């Protein structure tokens, strides 16, 4: 069996899927709290910018992959609610995640926020447990595909990108928000100190999860650099691939189109 990386460990591919699943099962309930703590709230700004770059329009069918707790989808729905919709066009978002625990947290949050099918005018939302590497959706059925802070946890990133391409309609857009790499060595050193010295103890303190957050930090360092990931997006068939660094490259927004 092929091996891959789980953070800095080398593991069998089948083992990685299980280990990643365990991590997100453990952190599901504290995931949003930890995002706030780890990024000092900046992840909210990154996600807002991400949605602005997507520029949702009425009639859009979005697949939000690895979107378990609903953070991106809720922003998408709120963005649409502010746009005039004289033709009463229907929009939709499918929130999909490989981890049912994360989806459960998202569905509960949707109920609390009043973002359920019954309460949404001209928009609908559904939740589906699915693997990004083999999606249960037909070809050409979404107008946009988003994945935020999820793709680095997948075993075969190339398969995820090919599946994203397959389910998008011609003219559809792929967008990914992911931790990336800083170009400034001094700033990267400071960021590394914070990541490895502060985040795992914070995970222990707030969520009782040292190892899960150690993995999350390591997985960020293993993720391809911006130019390399851009090449991967193009290799999957997307055109006009581009990226935009936020906060000096702590995260990047990657984008590509299916012709």
pTM: 0.95
Q: What is the 3-state secondary structure (H, E, C) of 193-207?
A: HHHHHCHHHHHHHHH
Q: Which pLDDT does position 15 carry in this prediction?
A: 95
Angle, helices 185-197 vs 199-207, to 10°: value is 30
Q: Which pLDDT does position 120 carry in this prediction?
A: 84
Domains and CATH numbers, the chain: 3-257 (3.40.50.150)
Q: Which pLDDT does position 140 carry in this prediction?
A: 99
Q: Which pLDDT does position 119 carry in this prediction?
A: 80
Q: Which pLDDT does position 98 carry in this prediction?
A: 97
- Burial class, 128, CB count within 10 angstroms (exposed 0-12 / middle 13-18 / buried 19+): middle
Q: Which pLDDT does position 37 carry in this prediction?
A: 87
Which stretches of the chain drop beneath a pLDDT of 50? none
From the list 132, 246, 238, 236, the residue with the least C-alpha distance to 183 is 246
């Amino acid at each position: 069996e092929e091996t891959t990386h789980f953070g800095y460990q080398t593991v069998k591919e089948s083992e990685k899927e299980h280990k990643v699943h365990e991590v997100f099962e453990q952190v599901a309930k504290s995931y949003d709290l930890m995002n706030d703590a780890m990024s000092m709230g900046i992840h909210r700004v990154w996600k807002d910018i991400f949605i602005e770059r997507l520029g949702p329009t009425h009639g859009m069918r979005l697949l939000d992959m690895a979107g378990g707790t609903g953070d991106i989808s809720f922003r998408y729905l709120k963005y649409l609610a502010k746009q005039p919709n004289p033709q009463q066009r229907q929009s939709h978002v499918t929130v999909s995640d490989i981890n049912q625990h994360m989806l459960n947290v998202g569905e509960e949050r949707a109920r609390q926020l009043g973002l359920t099918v019954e309460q949404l005018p001209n928009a609908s939302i559904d939740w589906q447990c699915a693997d990004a590497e083999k999606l249960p959706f037909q070809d050409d059925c979404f107008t946009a595909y988003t994945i935020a802070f999820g793709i680095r946890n997948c075993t075969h990133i190339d398969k995820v990108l090919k599946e994203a391409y397959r389910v998008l309609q011609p003219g559809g857009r792929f967008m990914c928000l992911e931790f990336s790499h800083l170009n400034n060595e001094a700033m990267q050193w400071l960021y590394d100190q914070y990541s490895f010295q502060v985040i795992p103890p914070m995970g222990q303190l707030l969520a009782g999860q040292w190892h899960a957050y150690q993995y999350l930090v390591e997985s960020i360092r293993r993720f391809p650099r911006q130019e390399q990931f851009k090449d991967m997006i193009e290799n999957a068939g997307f055109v006009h691939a581009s990226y935009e660094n936020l906060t000096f490259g702590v995260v990047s927004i990657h984008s590509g189109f299916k012709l």
